[in-house]
């Protein structure tokens, strides 16, 4: 009789369900749980001749909601569908015990056990695009400041210069007249010489004024034209919006031309364009024509990004709701959780909750659809 050692890792807290895989192979939720568990076992299970040693006792300890008969039936069904193979293997360190080994087939390897969260590179791309936008805004602001400084400084300098030169000319003119009168009274013969000298002084001052004016005009910075922003392509626009909303799970907008006004669009966990109808029905858009139509409309109405119009209901202050209910206890499917955030989706409210370990998740119904709460659930 085989003995299961007590030093194996304890139950894995997270199972990543691949719903596309489940739909393709017509699997039950229990069979998908077991398939995900087998993938998790890659990191810790003992391997003999390519088979992972997974005893029924170990699986039921880690997945207590699954009984022995259900486990055997599920493994048999997975094997019949060609997703796994089973074989008895000899474990020498367990006193040559013969136990069951499980190997995943090539068809089973199509299962995606990774969590559908934004990759590190996706976050980097969002940051890089935001940095590029800020740099473009910074260049435009600098060019605008240079223009304002030029306009503010150039007109003011010229009148001051001309005013100073005018005063100098007036002063010289007064001195010339005064000296001329004195010379007329004393030595009339020297008058032509004195007038010639004063005329040279006036000409010299005038030349200096003209020279300084030309230098001022030459040294004044010319207005630099603001380079027009680079036209954004549809692909880059779609990538920018997708990267922004895949991180938050918040709605992009509603009231889009060609759809019912209550239809709300957002990016799902697969990074695909999805919508929620007036009747709270969830679906992912697969028609390329409809997808292209939506993105072209949104690119021409970028002011609607993040704007969800409210229809046929009293306005709800979500900020006030979050201030009132954040960190409040709530019972979800029989378990105590704490409210992390309330999100207004236009057609209802979505709820982010926090468990006792501090993990944050969205409250979902079956098939990983976010659960929609009516506005009447949360009162002010």
pLDDT in tens, 46-102: 999 889 999 999 899 888 889 999 999 999 999 999 999 999 999 999 888 999 999
Q: For 166-179, what is each residue's pLDDT tens digit? A: 555 566 566 665 65
What pLDDT digit, counting tens, does each position of 272-324 carry?
899 988 887 888 888 889 999 999 999 999 988 988 877 655 556 778 788 77
* pLDDT per position as a tens digit, 325-344: 888 888 888 888 899 888 88
pTM over 0.85: no
Sheet containing strand 253-254, edge to edge, reads 253-254, 264-267, 273-276, 282-284
pLDDT of residue 299: 92
DSSP state of 108: G
Output the pLDDT for position 311: 64
- The residue assigned the tokens 């240079």 is 146
Does the pLDDT value for residue 152 go beyond 70? yes
Helix (H) or strand (E) holding 369: none
- Match 């005013």 to its residue by tokens: 163
- Report the range of poorest mean pLDDT among 58-62, 114-118, 156-160: 156-160
Distance between CA atoms of residues 238 and 285, nearest Å: 15
CATH fold, domain 19-110, is: Arc Repressor Mutant, subunit A (1.10.10)
Across residues 15-21, what is the average pLDDT?
A: 86
Q: How many CA atoms lie within 13 A of 319 on its CB side?
A: 0
* Domain boundaries of the chain, sorted by first residue: 19-110, 120-219, 234-304, 318-368
* pLDDT greater than 70 at residue 206: no
Between residues 154 and 6, the one the model is more confident about = 154
Assign 103 a pLDDT band (cuts: 50, 70, 90): very high
Tokens of 212: 């300084």
Confidence of residue 227 (pLDDT cuts 50, 70, 90): very low
- The tokens for 252 are 């992009």
CB 375 within 8 A of CB 313: yes
Asked whether the predicted pLDDT for residue 31 surpasses 80, the reply is yes
Q: What is the pLDDT of residues 246-276, one digit of tens each?
A: 877 788 998 898 898 889 998 987 888 999 8
Q: Which of 3-17, 106-120, 147-161 is the most confident on average?
A: 106-120
Inter-residue long-range contacts of 287-295, CB under 8 Å, 24+ positions, other chains counted: 293/258, 294/256, 294/258, 294/265, 295/234, 295/237, 295/238
């Amino acid at each position: 009789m085989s003995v299961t050692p007590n030093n194996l890792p304890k139950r894995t807290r997270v199972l990543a369900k691949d719903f596309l895989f489940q739909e393709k192979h017509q699997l039950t939720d229990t069979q998908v749980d077991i398939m995900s568990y087998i993938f998790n076992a890659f990191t810790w299970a003992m391997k003999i001749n390519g088979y992972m040693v997974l005893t029924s006792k170990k699986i039921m300890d880690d997945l207590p909601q699954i009984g022995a008969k259900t486990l055997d039936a599920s493994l048999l069904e997975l094997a019949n569908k060609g997703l796994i193979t089973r074989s008895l293997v000899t474990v020498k360190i367990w006193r040559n015990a013969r136990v069951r080994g499980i190997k995943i087939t090539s068809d089973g390897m199509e299962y995606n056990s990774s969590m559908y969260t934004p990759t590190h590179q996706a976050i980097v791309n969002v940051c890089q695009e935001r940095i590029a936008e800020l740099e473009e805004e910074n260049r435009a602001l600098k060019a605008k400041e240079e223009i304002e400084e030029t306009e503010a400084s150039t007109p003011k300098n010229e009148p001051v210069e001309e005013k100073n030169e005018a005063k100098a000319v007036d002063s010289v003119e007064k001195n010339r007249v005064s000296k001329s009168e004195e010379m007329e009274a004393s030595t009339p013969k020297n008058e032509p010489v004195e007038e010639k000298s004063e005329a040279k002084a006036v000409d010299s001052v005038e030349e200096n004024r003209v020279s300084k004016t030309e230098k001022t005009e030459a040294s004044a910075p010319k207005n630099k034209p603001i380079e027009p922003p680079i036209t954004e392509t549809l692909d880059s626009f779609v990538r920018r919006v997708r990267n922004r909303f895949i991180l938050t799970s918040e709605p992009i907008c509603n009231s889009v031309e060609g759809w019912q006004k209550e239809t709300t669009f957002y990016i799902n966990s697969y990074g695909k364009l999805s919508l929620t109808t007036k009747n709270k029905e969830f679906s992912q858009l697969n028609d390329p024509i409809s997808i292209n139509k939506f993105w072209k409309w949104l690119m021409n109405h970028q002011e609607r990004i993040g704007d969800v119009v409210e229809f046929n209901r009293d306005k709800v202050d979500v900020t006030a709701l979050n201030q009132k209910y954040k960190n409040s206890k709530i019972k979800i499917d029989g378990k105590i959780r704490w409210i992390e955030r309330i999100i207004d989706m236009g057609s209802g409210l979505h709820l982010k909750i926090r468990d006792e370990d501090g993990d944050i998740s969205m409250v979902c119904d079956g098939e990983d659809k976010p659960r929609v709460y009516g506005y009447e659930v949360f009162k002010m």
